């Protein structure tokens, strides 16, 4: 099937992405003391040179000790840190791509090996077990301001957009998910109440970056501890979940799935993906993701297994049907930074597969 339509630009606010391919955010823990070095700039530059139109960085921790651990996860505070990110954005721009910073608070999933107590909506983890402590209501405004402060800083050091990490069981997702949100103070209970704090974060970020700077919001049904988890059981609930985020200022949604082609609500539509439903109920641009170009779904590899490439025919069908506007690629770009250029040139058929361990070494 022809791919030329995937190489058309897309404009969202002040951002113009030169094509419809994004690099998915993938944690690396390769920034000692939170400072992104020359190797980080080169890592992202190679994917920009390889044809990706939008790079979404690894999670960038908020400037708060409770936000994330270890401290080799990059941050967005300090002169040396900001100089490092300036080199990253300059390198990506020099090779013709755009770049968004993913802002991250791990919530109750934070590793407490350093003695810092994790915080979350209710002091429980994704298994429903006690973990850390519950945030006080008057602490929420400060966290929203940390997101806003980091977004403003990202804009100032050359990032073209920010993505708020509201997926996979981290802090914002912990508010959305009824298993981790047991609050009774107006931030828990109904789905609309559980969306309240993430929407307040979006509104704070919007106020900090202005009306035209793009805000991407990543969300997911699945969690790191439960692939079968759900925060919206049908399209009506999905619309109820996302509407307050749209009103607060989200420009683009990034529904994270393990298989981009899987139907989200089979009882309502046997084919429409979560990306497709997200676009249908919000009308906003959407980023699809999940095992793009690979035979195996995310986190299904076995040690020593060679992962074979898969046809992108289904992906092209989804794009042609209007299910998404941008597609994010993860593991395939680790294995082959030039994957997008090779797709454009029709050369992917010569790719014989890769070893997951070798590919994942690119994260380091």
How many whole angstroms separate alpha carbon 295 and alpha carbon 309?
6
Which residues are designated catalytic? 170
CB burial string 168-177: b at 16+ within 10 A, e below: bbbbbbbbbb
- How far, in Å, are 37, 247, 265, 277, 338 from residue 48 at the CA level? 17, 32, 35, 29, 9
Concatenated DSSP letters of 131-142: -SEEPPGGGHHH
Q: For the chain, how are helix, strand and coil distributed in percent, rounded to 5?
A: 35, 20, 45
The values of phi and psi at residue 359, to 5°, are -65, -45
Contact 261, 296 (CB under 8 A): no
Among residues 298, 188, 278, 201, the alpha carbon closest in space to that of 232 is found at 278
């Amino acid at each position: 099937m022809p791919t030329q339509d995937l190489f058309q630009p897309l404009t969202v606010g002040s951002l113009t992405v030169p094509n419809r391919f994004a690099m998915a955010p993938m944690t690396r823990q390769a920034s000692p003391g939170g400072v992104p070095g020359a190797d980080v700039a080169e890592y992202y530059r190679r994917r920009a040179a390889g044809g990706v139109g939008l790079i979404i960085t690894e999670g960038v921790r908020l400037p708060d000790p409770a936000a994330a651990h270890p401290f080799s996860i990059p941050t967005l505070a300090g002169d040396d840190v900001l100089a490092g990110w300036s080199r990253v954005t300059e390198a990506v721009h020099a090779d013709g791509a755009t770049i968004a910073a993913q802002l991250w608070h791990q919530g109750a999933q934070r590793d407490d090996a350093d003695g810092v107590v994790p915080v979350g909506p209710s002091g429980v983890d994704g298994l429903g077990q006690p973990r850390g402590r519950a945030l006080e209501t008057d602490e929420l405004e400060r966290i929203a301001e940390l997101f806003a402060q980091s977004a403003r800083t990202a804009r100032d050091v050359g990032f073209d957009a920010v993505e708020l990490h509201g997926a996979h069981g981290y802090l914002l997702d912990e508010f959305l998910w009824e298993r981790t949100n047991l609050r009774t103070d107006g931030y828990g209970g109904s789905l609309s109440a559980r969306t309240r704090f993430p929407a307040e974060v979006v509104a704070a970020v919007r106020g900090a970056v202005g009306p035209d700077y793009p805000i991407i919001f990543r969300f997911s049904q699945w969690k790191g501890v439960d692939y079968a988890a759900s925060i919206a059981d049908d399209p009506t609930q999905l619309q109820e979940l996302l509407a307050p985020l749209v009103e607060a200022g989200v420009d683009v949604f990034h529904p994270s799935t393990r298989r981009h082609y899987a139907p989200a609500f089979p009882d309502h539509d046997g084919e429409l993906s979560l990306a497709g439903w997200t676009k249908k109920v919000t009308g906003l641009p959407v980023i699809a993701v999940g095992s793009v170009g690979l035979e195996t779904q995310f986190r299904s590899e076995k040690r020593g297994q060679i992962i074979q490439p898969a046809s992108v025919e289904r992906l092209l069908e989804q794009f042609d049907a209007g299910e998404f506007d941008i597609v994010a690629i993860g593991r395939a770009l680790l294995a082959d930074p030039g994957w997008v250029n090779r797709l454009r040139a029709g050369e992917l058929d010569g790719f014989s597969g890769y070893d997951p361990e070798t590919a994942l070494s690119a994260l380091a």
